[in-house]
A = this chain, B = another copy of it.
């Protein structure tokens, strides 16, 4: 029988060899990078992501937001309540189907979009010009990986 020898298994357990750790670390560093830009607006990164969705398409049910950002109501309900408290969104039951909560933007919420317009560029300021191509390719690879993971979640192992 073919057995993986211990050293090859061991090497795969090295932190530095793990794609997953790179993903985990990069995601946290990214959130930190957003912070100085979002803090003046009173926003966290997940809140900002939800607003990105709403700026594209509001009003919008909680589950529609959830599909877009891949979060469930157990995360979204408190997050949306905070956005409501901040005065950026409203939450109201749909009259036709009382199970559904429609999330809409307030005037302040729509105005916020303008204040955020410069954020993507500001984040890219520190990136050398010759890295931009690589970042685009990186996003492509990430999206394909996301596709794989979403698919394997849907199917039972």
In the assembled complex, which residues on chain B have CB atoms less than 8 Å from the CB atom of A34?
A: 20
A138 x B134 contact (CB < 8 A) = no
Compute how far the CA of A126 lies from the CA of B145 in the bound complex, rounded to whole angstroms. 11
Q: Which of B19, B113, B138 contacts A19 (CB 8 A)?
A: B138
Taking CB atoms and an 8 Å cut-off, the chain A residues in 109-157 that contact chain B are 113, 116-121, 123, 125-128, 131, 134-139, 141-146, 148-153, 157
A123 x B15 contact (CB < 8 A) = no
Q: How far is the CB of A55 from chain B (nearest CB, A)?
A: 6
In the assembled complex, which residues on chain B have CB atoms less than 8 Å from the CB atom of A9?
A: 117-118
Taking CB atoms and an 8 Å cut-off, the chain A residues in 20-61 that contact chain B are 20-34, 36, 45, 49, 52-53, 55-56
Q: How far is the CB of A156 from chain B (nearest CB, A)?
A: 11
CB-CB under 8 A for A29 and B142, given A9-B118, A24-B45, A120-B13: no
Q: Which residue of chain B has its CB nearest to the CB of A31? A: B24
Say yes or no for A106: interface residue by CB 8 A criterion. no
A33 x B116 contact (CB < 8 A) = no
Q: How far is the CB of A7 from chain B (nearest CB, A)?
A: 8
In the assembled complex, which residues on chain B have CB atoms less than 8 Å from the CB atom of A32?
A: 149, 153
In the assembled complex, which residues on chain B have CB atoms less than 8 Å from the CB atom of A99?
A: none
A56 x B138 contact (CB < 8 A) = no
Contact with B along A51-86 (1 / 0, CB 8 A): 011011000000000001110000000000000000
